[in-house]
């Protein structure tokens, strides 16, 4: 089977994804009988490219990474896109037969506007509306509009998958969807932001806040706008996405009570460490009566708490479930390759669905026992 891709956003994640596809080509063919071909790429400032016969995405990734444009000069016959949404619609029109056969996928990896969830939500709507599946590493769609987009995906019989949005490639949403049927998630707590965990870790050892932040920026781990990490917005968006998907909540990042990390936490972090405790930016959600509430804030944890054991760039999520008690998912190493793998794993899920003519499943059912959202 061949899946064709429209890449929307061609930054760090999408470029690593393009090279990973090349590296895994033989394995995808051998193990999954799957060929993946990129037909379109659109960016904000680096132009766009389309070729029905396929683009060399890995070569284009190298060119863009070196600071070049996506296309040196626009090929004749190329239609210019006035916006990324127009580009998506146009590309789907040109590959209408592939879309009809459920083999066209939009891969969304643009930068997130934390106040609105855009432009990703508009991209997802355009793709599902035209008959393309959606795979994204962007937190925006699930954090701001999960229920509307999941309903749209079900009606269109096209998948809307976002494994890379939380904890890179470690399966969180896939775990709940595929391996925990019939289980109710009653709440969760976790360390889900890498930059702040690394910084608190460095601060408890006496390193200055700004120095630790510069290290995270140099490694390309901190968000382009680092205040999204430090002020807790990234963790709040992940918390909203997790609560919406796993607990059927209707949160947005703004509705998550939020406190980030500040320079003056250094002494608290050092003192906590000396006392055998650790200061962590903890994300949590749970029921208060029938209402789901969520919070991101620095918390001092006892040394034997699993979250207290996380060093450097490690993340973890502990799900509190009705039948299995606590389930912990620990991410010991994260980064671009892991996020790129999340996109790839979602594509393999789509290929399996299409190969077995499996219809797009309903979103997780609403919570029982009269709980309201």
Ligand X SMILES: NC(=O)c1ccc[n+]([C@@H]2O[C@H](COP(=O)([O-])OP(=O)(O)OC[C@H]3O[C@@H](n4cnc5c(N)ncnc54)[C@H](OP(=O)(O)O)[C@@H]3O)[C@@H](O)[C@H]2O)c1
Which residues are catalytically annotated? 238
What tokens appear for 308 in the block?
């207290």
Contacts 24+ apart (CB under 8 A), 118-126: 119/84, 119/85, 121/145, 121/149, 122/85, 123/8, 123/84, 123/85, 123/88, 124/149, 124/160, 125/149, 125/152, 126/85, 126/88, 126/89, 126/92
Stretch that binds ligand X, among 54-62, 110-118, 252-260, 322-330 (CB under 6 A): 110-118
With CB under 6 A as the contact rule, the residue among 109, 196, 197, 239 that binds ligand X is: 109
Question: Which 142-201 positions form the footprint of ligand X (CB under 6 A)?
Answer: 164, 168
Stretch that binds ligand X, among 27-35, 259-267, 268-276, 334-342 (CB under 6 A): 334-342
- Residue 313 contacts residue 337 (beta carbons within 8 Å): no
- Residue 237 contacts residue 356 (beta carbons within 8 Å): no
What tokens appear for 348 in the block?
């393999």
If one counts every other C-beta atom within 10 angstroms of the C-beta of residue 146, the result is 24
Task: Establish if 230 lies at the interface with ligand X (CB under 6 A).
Answer: no
What tokens appear for 171 in the block?
């399966």
Stretch that binds ligand X, among 25-33, 94-102, 105-113, 308-316 (CB under 6 A): 105-113
Shortest distance (Å) from residue 44 CB to ligand X: 4
For residue 331, what are the β-bridge partners? 315
Shortest distance (Å) from residue 373 CB to ligand X: 25
Which residue from 120, 123, 127 is spatially nearest to 104, judged by alpha carbons?
A: 127
- 3-state SS, 90-121, equals HHHHHCHHHHHCCCEEEEECCCCCCCCCCCHH
Task: Establish if 44 lies at the interface with ligand X (CB under 6 A).
Answer: yes
Task: Establish if 8 lies at the interface with ligand X (CB under 6 A).
Answer: yes
Task: Establish if 332 lies at the interface with ligand X (CB under 6 A).
Answer: no
With CB under 6 A as the contact rule, the residue among 19, 98, 138, 360 that binds ligand X is: 138
Q: Kindly provide the residue ranges of all beta strands, DSSP E only, lying in 179-223, ordered along the sequence.
A: 185-191
List C-alpha distances in Å: 126 to 93, 106, 283, 293: 11, 10, 32, 31
Cα distance between residue 343 and residue 169, in whole Å: 8
Between 47 and 187, CB nearer to ligand X: 47
With CB under 6 A as the contact rule, the residue among 336, 340, 351, 354 that binds ligand X is: 336
- Residue 134 contacts residue 161 (beta carbons within 8 Å): yes
Task: Establish if 252 lies at the interface with ligand X (CB under 6 A).
Answer: no
Task: Establish if 119 lies at the interface with ligand X (CB under 6 A).
Answer: yes
Task: Establish if 137 lies at the interface with ligand X (CB under 6 A).
Answer: yes
Stretch that binds ligand X, among 37-45, 258-266, 294-302, 351-359 (CB under 6 A): 37-45
Task: Establish if 90 lies at the interface with ligand X (CB under 6 A).
Answer: no
Task: Establish if 62 lies at the interface with ligand X (CB under 6 A).
Answer: no
Task: Establish if 112 lies at the interface with ligand X (CB under 6 A).
Answer: yes
**What are the b/e assignments for 279-295, b being 16+ CB within 10 Å?**
bbbbbbbbeeeeebbbb
Task: Establish if 121 lies at the interface with ligand X (CB under 6 A).
Answer: no
Task: Establish if 321 lies at the interface with ligand X (CB under 6 A).
Answer: no
With CB under 6 A as the contact rule, the residue among 4, 9, 102, 351 that binds ligand X is: 9
Shortest distance (Å) from residue 304 CB to ligand X: 30
Q: How many residues in the shown chain lie near ligand X by CB under 6 A?
A: 26
Task: Establish if 13 lies at the interface with ligand X (CB under 6 A).
Answer: yes
Task: Establish if 12 lies at the interface with ligand X (CB under 6 A).
Answer: yes
Residue numbers at the binding site for ligand X (CB under 6 A): 8-14, 42-46, 84, 109-112, 119, 137-138, 164, 168, 224, 335-336, 339
């Amino acid at each position: 089977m061949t899946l064709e891709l429209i890449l929307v956003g061609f930054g760090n994640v999408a470029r690593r994804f393009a090279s990973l596809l090349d590296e895994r080509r033989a394995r995808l063919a051998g193990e999954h009988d799957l060929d993946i071909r990129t037909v379109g790429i659109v960016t904000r400032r680096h132009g766009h490219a389309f070729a029905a016969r396929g683009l060399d995405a890995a070569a284009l990734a190298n060119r863009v990474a070196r600071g070049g444009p996506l296309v040196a000069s626009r090929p004749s016959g190329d239609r210019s896109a006035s916006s990324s949404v127009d580009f998506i619609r146009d590309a789907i029109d040109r590959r209408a037969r592939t879309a009809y056969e459920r083999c066209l996928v939009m891969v969304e990896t643009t930068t997130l506007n934390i106040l609105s969830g855009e432009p990703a939500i508009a991209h997802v709507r355009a793709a599902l509306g035209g008959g393309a599946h959606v795979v994204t590493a962007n937190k925006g769609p699930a954090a701001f509009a999960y229920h509307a987009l999941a309903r749209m995906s079900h009606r269109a019989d096209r998948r809307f998958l976002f494994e890379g949005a939380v904890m890179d490639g470690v399966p969180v949403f896939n775990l709940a969807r595929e391996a925990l049927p019939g289980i109710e998630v009653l709440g969760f707590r976790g360390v889900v932001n890498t930059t702040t965990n690394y910084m608190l870790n460095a601060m408890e050892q006496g390193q200055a806040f700004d120095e630790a932040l510069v290290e995270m920026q140099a490694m390309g781990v901190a968000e382009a706008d680092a205040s999204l990490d430090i002020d807790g917005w990234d963790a709040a968006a992940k918390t909203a996405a997790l609560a919406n998907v796993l607990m059927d909540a209707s949160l947005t990042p703004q509705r998550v009570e939020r406190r980030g990390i500040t320079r003056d936490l250094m002494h608290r972090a050092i003192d906590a460490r000396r006392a055998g405790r650790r200061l962590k930016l903890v994300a949590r959600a749970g029921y208060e009566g029938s209402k789901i509430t969520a919070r991101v804030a620095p918390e001092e944890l006892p040394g034997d708490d699993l979250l207290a054991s996380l060093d450097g760039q490690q993340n973890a999520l502990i799900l509190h479930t009705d039948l299995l008690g606590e389930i912990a998912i620990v991410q010991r190493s994260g980064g671009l390759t892991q996020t790129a793998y999340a996109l790839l794993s979602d594509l393999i899920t789509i290929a399996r669905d299409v190969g077995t003519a499996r219809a797009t499943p309903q979103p997780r059912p609403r919570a029982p026992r009269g709980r309201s959202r």
